[in-house]
């Protein structure tokens, strides 16, 4: 069934009238998340770093509680570091580096005091 050009324009006009007051706000969710970091006392660059970190950590397999704990801990460290002029990039490197450190934390160095007596015993047997 063909639609005449006059009927087509009527349909277009009706559609325009219907959607005249509708505004698209595609980045609304991003703005909300970004504003969370703006309102807690972070500098503009640190807030941007935390926003990017938040986006990247959401893509990982960490639970939401672990993600929230990590972000909360980082914000506290960042607020303390800002007082002495440190930035997030100086403290943790790039966002990708920080994500890797969160997912694969560095191994702890062996505690010499904890291993002293077993090592002393094995050394005594060796001599």
d(CA 27, CA 7): 36
Q: What is the 3-state secondary structure of 94-119?
A: CHHHHHHHHHCCCCCCCCCCCCHHHH
Q: Is the pTM of this model over 0.75?
A: no
Residue 67 has pLDDT above 80, yes or no: yes
Task: Give residue 36's pLDDT.
Answer: 80
Residue 66 has pLDDT above 90, yes or no: yes
Sketch the domain layout of the chain as residue ranges. Answer: 28-103
Sign of the alpha-carbon dihedral angle for 71, 73, 76, 82: negative
Average pLDDT over residues 74-90: 93
Share of the chain above pLDDT 70, in %: 91
Share of the chain above pLDDT 90, in %: 45
pLDDT digits (tens, 9 = 90+) for 3-26: 556 667 888 888 888 877 777 666
The residue with greater pLDDT, 15 or 2, is 15
Question: What are the tokens at 73?
Answer: 């801990």
d(CA 37, CA 122): 54
Task: Give residue 6's pLDDT.
Answer: 66
The whole-chain average pLDDT of the chain stands at 85
Q: How many CA atoms lie within 13 A of 89 on its CB side?
A: 9
């Amino acid at each position: 069934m063909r639609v005449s050009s006059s009927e087509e324009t009527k349909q277009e006009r009706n559609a325009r009238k219907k959607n005249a007051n509708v505004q698209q706000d595609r980045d609304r969710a991003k703005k909300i998340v970004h504003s969370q970091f703006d309102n807690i006392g972070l500098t503009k660059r640190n807030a941007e770093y935390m926003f990017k970190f938040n986006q990247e950590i959401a893509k990982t397999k960490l639970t939401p509680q672990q993600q929230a704990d990590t972000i909360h801990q980082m914000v506290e460290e960042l607020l303390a570091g800002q007082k002495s002029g440190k930035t997030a990039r100086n403290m943790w490197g790039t966002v990708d580096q920080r994500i890797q450190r969160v997912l694969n934390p560095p191994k702890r160095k062996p505690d010499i005091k904890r291993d002293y007596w077993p090592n002393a015993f094995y050394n005594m047997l060796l001599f």
